[in-house]
Copies of this chain bind each other. A is one copy, B any other.
Amino acid sequence: MTSARNPALPDFDLERYLPYRFVVLAAQLSSKLAKQYKQEFGISIPEWRVLLNVGYTKDLSIRDIEQRVSLERSKVSRAATKLEAKGFLAKQVDARDKRLLKLTLTREGTELLAKLIPIAERFQAELNQILGEDTPALHLALDRLMQGTD
């Protein structure tokens, strides 16, 4: 079906090409949630990730988040600035090391996150539904790839 018509080219099957499949699927999944968050709450994906991290760990710095979530320094910084402007988180300079920032959710930020999480959970449940008994196998494969491609 995807055979090469051009004799100068080797055979190649894009439909089975793993990096491609990942990118397409990831974009689909991510944008589905992104639209919901954007429309209903005005929150972008980087903002959602930052919110989540700050929500679950005390006094994170920008750098901490960068490493955990594999999100660029500058992305994290800008997301944090926006969240601060919207009143969802507070920045505070670390007294011990004044280069660092300590990020904390405000009450409003906590309330927002409490609304966002169930939506994410519901989405995950949908996916597990679709995957059925293959869910663990997928996670295993993802573990392997994450490990292997560092």
A23 contacts the other chain (CB 8 A): yes
CA distance A98 to B109 in the complex (A): 54
Q: Is the CB of B29 within 8 A of A22?
A: yes
Instruction: Establish whether residues A26 and B28, one from each chain, have CB atoms under 8 Å apart when the complex forms.
Output: no
- For residue A127, which residue of chain B has the nearest CB? B18
A67 interface residue, CB < 8 Å from B? no
Which B residues are in CB contact (< 8 Å) with A12?
A: 52, 56, 117, 120-121
Complex interface bits, A1-44 against B, C-beta within 8 A gives 1, otherwise 0: 01011101110101011111111111111101100000000000
Contact-residue size bin, chain A (C-beta under 8 Å from the other chain)? 35 or more
Main SS class of interface, A: helix
Contact (Cβ within 8 A) B145 A25: yes
- The residue that A110 contacts in the complex, of B6, B52, B56, with Cβ under 8 A, is B6
Query: Closest Cβ of chain B: how far from A104's Cβ, in Å?
Result: 10
Instruction: Report if A99 contacts B (CB, 8 A).
Output: no
Chain A residues with a Cβ under 8 A of chain B: 2, 4-6, 8-10, 12, 14, 16-30, 32-33, 49, 52-53, 55-58, 69-70, 105, 110-111, 113-114, 117-118, 120-121, 123-124, 127-128, 130-132, 134, 137-142, 144-149
